[in-house]
Amino acid sequence: MALSRFCIGRVLWSVSLGVLLIASERSRADADVSDQAKQSQNPIADLISVPFQNNTNLNAGPERETLNVLNVEPVVPVSLGSDWELITRTILPVISEPPLLRDGSRTNGLGDALFSAFFSPRTSRGGWIWGVGPAIQAPTHSDAALGNNNWGLGPTFVVLHLEAGSPWVYGVLANNVWSIGSSRSSRDFKNGLMQPFVDYNLGHGTYLVSAPIVTVNWTAAGSQQWTVPLGGGVGQIVHLGKLPVNMQLSGYYNVARPTEGPNWQVRTQIQFLFPK
């Protein structure tokens, strides 16, 4: 009888220990995936990432057709010693543009690339993180309708709040780019962009997001300058083997837009993360 009780006790102890180990592993996995979600929401996180962001803009142009822009946005951090780092972000748009004139034809190809470099301190204060640097636009377009032959240059900055233990991540990224050069085949430009973003993390890699991209064409007439979207969506961290992938779906309505600008935007994103 004593031996039986001893065996039963050993079994119960082994089962309890196994349950605790499984719970501990799950808790650790949840913490890892939550941290990966927050890293994906930080535009200047210290990790290599490759987002593919597809923006489907509805009812654009004189015929109210679909304008599609796929942005390929590799992000690469560079160490500048123990105190500073340089975060580089390159945006290469692949565009399918409806005709700008009635009875015209659709144009498909590459747009102009935008390279940004953010100098950022390695340590944050009170959860606040910031970066500042230059933004450079390069005439990489494959068709004259998809870009400008002048180069562009201007400042860019990002500031955000990301604190351990808090489900919130919020901040703003902005730039303003002026044309440089004197190409006779393209007009001068002066374009601004501001992207406020708010993320609320629900746990297990799931989060709610609002990240509208506000743009302004300073050379256009007053009512034609601004595009201001409102909306949001949901994101989720999944894994391809050990590779974390950030997937996101959101929708935005343009409360302000040029006369022939789109009124709705559907954004889908797949972002591959390469933690150190």
144 touches 113 (CB < 8 A): no
CA-to-CA distance for 86 and 44, rounded, in angstroms? 9
pLDDT at 23: 37
| Count of other CB atoms within 10 angstroms of residue 143 | 13
Number of DSSP helices (H) and strands (E) in the chain, helices first: 1, 15
- Partners of 84 in beta bridges: 121
Given CATH 1.10.357.10, say whether it is the number of domain 47-274.
Answer: no
Residue 184, CB-side half-sphere exposure with 13 Å CA sphere:
0
pLDDT at 219: 94
| Count of other CB atoms within 10 angstroms of residue 175 | 21
pTM of the model as a whole = 0.86
CA-to-CA distance for 52 and 272, rounded, in angstroms? 8
pLDDT at 10: 57
Tokens of 21: 């180990």
What is the domain partition of the chain in residue ranges?
A: 47-274
CA-to-CA distance for 196 and 66, rounded, in angstroms? 25
pLDDT tens, the chain, 276 aa long = 554 554 555 555 555 444 443 333 444 445 578 889 999 999 999 999 999 999 999 999 888 999 999 999 999 999 998 899 999 999 999 999 998 877 788 999 999 999 999 999 998 888 999 999 999 999 999 999 999 999 999 999 999 999 988 999 999 999 999 999 777 778 899 999 999 999 999 999 999 999 999 999 999 998 899 999 999 999 999 999 999 999 999 999 999 999 999 999 999 999 999 987
254 touches 264 (CB < 8 A): yes
pLDDT at 182: 72
48 touches 75 (CB < 8 A): yes
Find where tokens 């994103």 sit: 269
Q: DSSP per residue over 177-228, as a string?
A: EEEES--TTS---EEEEEEEEEEEEEETTEEEEE---EEEETTS-GGGSEEE
CA-to-CA distance for 119 and 50, rounded, in angstroms? 19
